Amino acid sequence: MKMKRRDFIKGAAGSLALLTLDGQVVDARTVEALPPNALGILYDSTLCVGCNACMSACKDANSMQAELGQGNTIWDKPQDLSSKTLNIIKKFSSGKGVNKDVVEDGYAFIKRQCLHCVDPSCVTACPVSALTKDKESGIVSYNKDACIGCRYCQVACPYNIPKFEWDDPYPEIVKCQLCSHLIAKGGISACCSVCPTGASLFGPVEKLIEETRRRLQMKPGKQYDFPVSSIDSGKSHVFKAPKYVRHVYGREELGGTQVMYMSAVPFEKFGLPTFPKESFVSMASGIQYAIYKGMVYPLVVLAGLVFMVKKNKNAEEQGKTEKKDTVKGDTHE
């Protein structure tokens, strides 16, 4: 009996040791692949003129309140993404800030919104599947009827996208859902349909990736066609090709995202973090998976524990009665 108990403890210790192997169990879960009909947005910072039409259209399409406050009671003036703002154009500026898409004394725009990750942290984090990734379109959407408001999605999101209605007694999580309600009716994301320059371009992710390849091959200064609204719209403008950074943000970051960025200014300048290819999700959920897959380990441990407690408890009961009888008699080992 004694041997058995020791062996059991050894086994339990062994499964714990599993936890300490840095990186070894990570492979227990593979990184998700891009869904077959993934939809997304290609935002080209060099085409953006900062008109903010996308922000206004976003508010209309999603019935969002205007961001007032700080002495301003008239117009929408968000400073960052918030529970009232799903989409925002922000500006990088340095020195005199006069030359567009240049680092020194220059400026450039960036669109911030949910990037609709291929392997979204928020979806893995959510305990009640209130955040889900559509198997076809890959759109990450939110269901307020399931959400318990634990905010683990906010902790988990590497891009700090989900926002919480802090001043609402029964708050919701708020984030861009790519206007899935418009897409369901055959439309496209509101921000893209109003973008006058094609800086925000809607389309199937595969086609958008092809478009990024085409743009990266353009000779800076030469004129090319740039599609507007949607990559399939047939409409386009002619622009001079800029000198792109040789990297598409979102192509591979943490397993990739369905909203991607192109720019002539390095992405760090916009405060976008540099990420490895592998997502943090696969690390956490790899460990969780290795231990809790099918609940086999926990159930085996539980069976062992029940057995040991029962044995020890019986010995204790016996000890009590024996004590009453013979006064002496320590039955504990």
Partner 1 sequence: MSEEAKPLGGRIFTPTFLVCLIIVGIAGYFAIKRFVFGIGSISNMNDGFPWGIWIAYDVVVGTAFACGGYVMALLVYILNKGQFHPLVRPALLASMFGYTLAGVSVFLDIGRYLNVYNLYLPWQMNFHSVMFEVAMCIGTYIFVLWLEFTPAFVEKWKLKNFGKRLNRVIFALIALGVLLPTMHQSSLGTMMLMAGYKLSPLWHTSTLPLLFLLTALFMGFAMVVFEATISSRVYALGDETNMLSKVARIMSWVLGFYLIIRFQNIFMRGEMANAFSGTFLGNMFLVENLMLLIGLFILAYPNYRSNPRLLFVAAVAVLIGGSLFRFNTYIIGFDPGTGWKYFPSIGEQMITYGLIAFEIAAYTLFVKVFPVFSVHKSAELN
- Contact positions with partner 1 (CB under 8 A) in 95-134: 121, 124-130
Q: 238: alpha, beta or left, given left = phi > 0 and alpha = psi -120 to 50? A: beta
What are the DSSP E strand ranges found in 46-159? 88-93, 99-100, 106-112, 131-133, 140-142
Whole-number Å distance between alpha carbons of 328 and 13: 36
| Distant-in-sequence, close-in-space partners of 44: CB < 8 Å, separation ≥ 6 | 198, 199, 201, 215, 226, 261, 262, 263
Cβ at position 121, least distance to partner 1 in Å? 6
Residue 296 in contact with partner 1, rule: CB under 8 A: no
Residue 20 in contact with partner 1, rule: CB under 8 A: yes
User: Contacting partner 1 (CB under 8 A), which of 28, 103, 165, 196?
Assistant: 165
Q: Which is nearer to partner 1, 35 or 171 (CB)?
A: 171
Residue 11 in contact with partner 1, rule: CB under 8 A: no
Burial 106-117 (b: 16+ CB within 10 A, else e): bbbbbbbbbbbb
DSSP string, 147-204: -----HHHHH-TT---EE-TTSSS--EE---TTHHHHTTT---HHHHH-SSSSEEEEE
Residue 164 in contact with partner 1, rule: CB under 8 A: yes
What are the DSSP E strand ranges found in the chain? 39-44, 88-93, 99-100, 106-112, 131-133, 140-142, 163-164, 173-174, 200-204, 223-227, 236-240, 259-262
User: Contacting partner 1 (CB under 8 A), which of 38, 42, 48, 147?
Assistant: 147
Given the rule CB under 8 A, which of 48-56, 176-184, 185-193, 317-325 is the region that contacts partner 1? 317-325
Q: Which is nearer to partner 1, 170 or 186 (CB)?
A: 170
Given the rule CB under 8 A, which of 12-20, 98-106, 234-242, 257-265 is the region that contacts partner 1? 12-20
User: Contacting partner 1 (CB under 8 A), which of 34, 68, 182, 301?
Assistant: 301
Residue list 266-285, contact with partner 1 (CB under 8 A)? 271, 273, 275, 280-281, 283-285
Residue list 206-235, contact with partner 1 (CB under 8 A)? none
Angle, alpha carbons 125-137-135 (nearest 5°) = 55
Cβ at position 107, least distance to partner 1 in Å? 19
User: Contacting partner 1 (CB under 8 A), which of 50, 69, 95, 149?
Assistant: 149
Residue 166 in contact with partner 1, rule: CB under 8 A: yes
The CA-atom distances, in angstroms, between 54 and each of 50, 142, 218 are 9, 21, 26
Cβ at position 24, least distance to partner 1 in Å? 9
Whole-number Å distance between alpha carbons of 67 and 77: 5
Residues that bind partner 1 (rule: CB under 8 A) add up to a total of 74
Residue 82 in contact with partner 1, rule: CB under 8 A: yes
Residue 192 in contact with partner 1, rule: CB under 8 A: no
Whole-number Å distance between alpha carbons of 262 and 270: 12
Neighbour count for residue 237 (Cβ, 10 Å):
13
User: Contacting partner 1 (CB under 8 A), which of 163, 192, 253, 267?
Assistant: 163
Residue 171 in contact with partner 1, rule: CB under 8 A: yes
Residue 33 in contact with partner 1, rule: CB under 8 A: no
Residue 325 in contact with partner 1, rule: CB under 8 A: no
User: Contacting partner 1 (CB under 8 A), which of 10, 14, 23, 75?
Assistant: 23
Residue recorded with tokens 């408890």: 313
User: Contacting partner 1 (CB under 8 A), which of 10, 14, 70, 170?
Assistant: 170
Given the rule CB under 8 A, which of 34-42, 98-106, 157-165, 179-187 is the region that contacts partner 1? 157-165
Give me 167's structure tokens: 């001043």
